[in-house]
Amino acid sequence: MHQFTRRSLLATTAAGLVARSLPACAAPASFKHDAFEVTVVSDGHLVLPTSFLAPGAPPAERASLLQAAGQTSEQYNSPTNITLIRTGADLILVDMGSGDRFMPSAGKLWDNLKTAGIEKANITKVVFTHGHPDHLWGAVDELDDLALPKASFFVASAEWDFWHGENAARGLPAERAGFVTGARRNYAAIKDRVKMLKPGDDVVTGLRLVATPGHTQGHVVLELAGGEGLIIGGDVLTHPLISFQHPEWRPNADHVPDQAAETRARLLDRLAAGRSKLIGFHLPYPGLGFVERKDGAYRFVPAA
């Protein structure tokens, strides 16, 4: 298990960022954050159309950034990094990955935990950033039974209400209509063990929800107290170049694109000003780094 033992910065080229995006092995990465022990575990990766990446952006600028990222084919691989937090008697999982019904390249969380000697039965709490398949569908197994039958679950009430509302499928492309069915199936499995939270609420002392709507209507990130802070960023920042250099560009995966762009800009400004650490779910594995201002925009700098 790789240990992050010092807060140093690694100056990285675009090519270097992409080289880190898919780990040579799935070994979890751990580091101390104040009184918390934080571990990032790979759930594998998604295989997505490159056309998802800001299709409405100026074509020449978009093509240049995609070329710099090495993403010139019709598909690209998007890492899926899941955060585990140990504090006191609690072992807290942030999101549960894809499970076995989304993409064959994902759903590797439990295998990678087991390889690292972490028993999933010891997980006491699960917090969801939002209800997309790669974050929620790992909640149940192939028989629709809970993967963690003894854990407690925490969901932002606005996100729960969105997926159960009559307008949940409105605006979604036809090929993503199944996201609603899947969200309801997985949420139904946890309904007797779930606690609804709102932004500002604590999961445990030192771990609280922060509202970051737009990617989905009730999307939240998690803020871990201590030092200059740590943000577990869900899907606010999903690409190591585009999300930082052009937060105003609209990825196809955002439910409310204008709101998502405003949220990205606000979070980037906060991260750069406060020097907080960031763990990005879809950023180059293990997704841990810092945000710096650069040339009127921002850049992601992985932690060494």
Among the listed ranges 9-13, 166-170, 256-260, which one has the minimum average pLDDT value?
A: 9-13
pLDDT band, very low/low/confident/very high, at 171 (cuts 50, 70, 90): confident
pTM score above 0.95: no
Indicate whether 102 pLDDT > 90: yes
Question: Is residue 245 pLDDT above 50, yes or no?
Answer: yes
Query: In the predicted model, is pLDDT for residue 23 greater than 70?
Result: no
Q: How far is CA 96 from the centre of its chain?
A: 10
Question: Given pLDDT bands bounded at 50, 70 and 90, which one contains residue 19?
Answer: very low
Convert 74-132 into a string of H (helix), E (strand) and C (coil): CEEEEEEEEEEEEECCEEEEECCCCCCCCCCCECCHHHHHHHCCCCHHHCCEEECCCCC
Residue 25: the pLDDT is 52
pLDDT confidence bin for 281, thresholds 50/70/90: very high
Whole-number pLDDT of residue 26: 59
Model confidence pLDDT, tens digit, residues 53-79:
999 999 999 999 999 999 999 999 999
Q: Worst-scoring range by mean pLDDT, 168-177, 217-226, 279-288?
A: 168-177
Say yes or no to pLDDT of 15 above 70. no
- Segment 160-188 shows an average pLDDT of 93
**What domains can you pick out in the chain, each with its CATH number?**
2-302 (3.60.15.10)
Mean pLDDT of 2-9: 35
| pLDDT tens readout for residues 181-240 | 999 999 999 999 999 999 999 999 999 999 999 999 999 999 999 999 999 999 999 999
Confidence of residue 39 (pLDDT cuts 50, 70, 90): very high
- pLDDT, one tens digit per residue, over 41-53 is 999 999 999 999 9
List Cβ<8 Å contacts ≥24 apart for 22-25: 22/77, 22/79, 22/285, 23/79, 23/285, 23/286
Least confident of 23-27, 164-168, 218-222: 23-27
| Res 233: pLDDT | 97
> What mean pLDDT, rounded, does the chain reach?
91
> pLDDT digits over 122-151, tens only?
999 999 999 999 999 999 999 999 999 999
* Residue in 292, 247, 289 with CA at minimum distance from that of residue 7: 289
